[in-house]
Structure 1
C-alpha cells in the first residue's frame, strides 16, 4: 500500500480543491501555499522514499511511473512592468505544465511572462489521480467532488514543482496571442531581472 486510506482521501480531496479553485499564474498567500504544500510534500516524500528502496513491488513501480516527472516545465505569469524583478522565489510547490499546449487554458491576456524550467522528480498531478482511482484508494469523496468533474483540467498536463533559482531556466516576455510561437516572438528577460524580493515590490 502506497498511502493509507486517510492519506489517499486527503490527497484526492485537496487535489480536487486545487484544480477547481486555483488559476495557474495567480499570486497566492503564504497560508494558501502552506496548506497545499502539505499535500504535495506527502506525495514527494513517498516518491523519494521509494527511490531509496533496493527492490520495488509492482504497485510501487506503477506509482513512480505515473506520478514522477523529470523534464522541461512551463509556467505563465501576468506581466507587470517593474523597476526590478518579476518573480517571487519560493520553495513551495507551484503549478507548471509539461508543455506549451497545456498553457492554452490559462486565462492570462496581453503581455505575459513565460517561465521555462527543468524539474527533477516533480509531481504529475493527473498521474497521482490516475493511480488513486485505478487502485481504488479513494473511499471518502466529499460531496460533489466526483473524478469526472476534473477531466476538463487534464489537458493542462499540470506538474507541481517549486519556483526558485534552481528550477528556472529562462524567462520571456510575450504577447499571449503568440504563446505557441514563443521561440520566434518571445523577448528574453535578462537573468538579473528575474527575481523579486518582498522588499522590491512596487
Structure 2
C-alpha cells in the first residue's frame, strides 16, 4: 500500500517573483527590501520623498513603502513656481505648486463709497476698497459744556461745537480765569459756563 502525500504546486502570481520579505524593483529587475523601494508613476521610478503631480491633479509624495501619499486637488489650484495671476482684485503667486493669494475685499463700481463708522469711509479704487483709518472721537453727552483753550464748546448731536472766539484767557490773582469775548466784555469763566448752561435749559 502506498501512501501518497498531496503537495500543492506553487502558482505564480503577478508581481510576486521574490522571496518572502522582498519585492521586485522594476528599475533594476531585482529583488530588494521594501524600504529600498522607489515609487513608480508613468513607468518612471521616484525616490522616497519626491513629489509628483499626477494626471487627475493629485499632489503625491513617495513614502517609504513604495506607495504614493496623495491629496486630491482641483486642477485649477495647481501652478508653476513663481507664476502670477489676478483673481478679481487679488494677486496670486505660485509657491510650492500652490496658489497664495491676497485676501482683499473687492468692490464692484469704481468711485463707489461706503461708510465704515462715524468717522471713516471707503472708496472703490481700481477694484479695491481704499479706507480711511481715523480714530473716532468719543461721543459727548448731549448739551454738556467744555473749555477748549479759550473757546467754549457745547455738545450737539454727539459732537462738540465750539465758538470761534480767539479771546485771550487771563488768570486772576485768586486763580480764576476771565475771558474777553468778541463783544469786548470780560467774563469769569465759571459764570460764563453757568450762563451757557442756563441758555441751553431754556
TM-score, normalisation: structure 1: 0.19
Going by fraction, where is helix more abundant, 1 or 2? 1
Q: Structure 2 length normalisation: TM-score? A: 0.19
Q: RCO higher in 1 or 2 (8 Å CA, sep ≥ 6)?
A: 1
Larger radius of gyration: 2
Higher strand share: 2
